[in-house]
Amino acid sequence: MRLDGIRALVTGAGSGIGRALSVELARRGARPILLGRTASALEATRSRLAAPEAAAILCLDLADAGARGEIAERVAALGGGLDLLVNNAGVVDAAPLARQEEEAWRRMVEVNLLAPMSITRRLLPLLQASGRGRVVNVGSMFGDIAFPFFAAYSASKFGLRGWSEALRREVADLGVGVTYCAPRGTRTPAADGFAGYVEAFRMRLDAPEKVARAIADGIARDARDVYPRGPERLFVLLQRLLPAQVDRGIVRQMRAAAVRLPSASRP
């Protein structure tokens, strides 16, 4: 996909990967629609763009099914059509399953899975009309390799990955492409909420700008999926071919991490 001149809607654009990706897409000539819950955060993102005047702001809470129902009309009212939809917004809550509230599970499924499904369905006619439409779903390595204490989050990202594969096949004849992206841990405000687990498991965190460049490169080459370079590619292959071996490795890692976790975070 040629990025210069396209109209691109990025959800979760007020911070983290969404902000960095909006900046990167604008640098490559795209005209972003910045979607998020907080106008001030979206204005802060817009101020960083190469051409702020070319960007639009759309305040919308993706956890609100009623608000999602208005998205097609609101995007159409902005003018300029829609060439690219980036489903990036997400929430993560890490905790032992026995101590995690059901409301946390519900919000993760709502924002991480149901919201992308809902807004994609509503925006599909606009993407099809562009003649070069693409849906980009930002998942996680936890959508391939499930980690203890991230069970519900992993479930939502596994779901997003599966839905992306099915959607790709379903819209193939509509002229709409689908790219699934699976970043590893990223240094975003969301990561602050599970910093104890990052330290205990010795997770590698990438800068959001690095992740954004990789996603933008993937979009530019119409990639089927975008995974980080390095050992993670091997881990994904092992997960699919030798899952029991991965079980043993992660359980050992969990036991070693337990001694470094705060007592309130232990199972």
Where residue 239 sits, what CATH number does that domain have? 3.40.50.720
Of residues 160 and 204, which shows the higher confidence score? Answer: 160
pLDDT band at 259 (very low <50, low <70, confident <90, very high): low
- Judged by average pLDDT, the poorest of 154-158, 191-195, 200-204, 259-263 is 259-263
In the set 153, 180, 197, 227, the catalytic residue is: 153
pLDDT band at 190 (very low <50, low <70, confident <90, very high): confident
Q: pLDDT tens, 93-122?
A: 999 999 999 999 999 999 999 999 999 999
Short-list 134, 128, 132, 136, CA closest to 174: 128
Please report whether residue 104 resides in a domain: yes
Q: In percent, how much of the chain has pLDDT > 90?
A: 77
Please give the structure tokens belonging to residue 56.
């639009």
Paired sense of beta strands 177-181 and 134-138, if any: parallel
- The stretch 186-210 carries a mean pLDDT of 84
Please give the structure tokens belonging to residue 26.
């604008």
Please report whether residue 219 resides in a domain: yes
What is the C-alpha to C-alpha distance for residues 120 and 123, in angstroms, rounded to an integer?
A: 5
Please report whether residue 55 resides in a domain: yes
Amino acid identity of residue 154, one-letter, is S
Please report whether residue 226 resides in a domain: yes
Please report whether residue 1 resides in a domain: no
Domain that holds residue 21: 7-265
| Total domains in the fold of the chain | 1
- The stretch 215-231 carries a mean pLDDT of 94
Q: Is 153 a catalytic residue?
A: yes
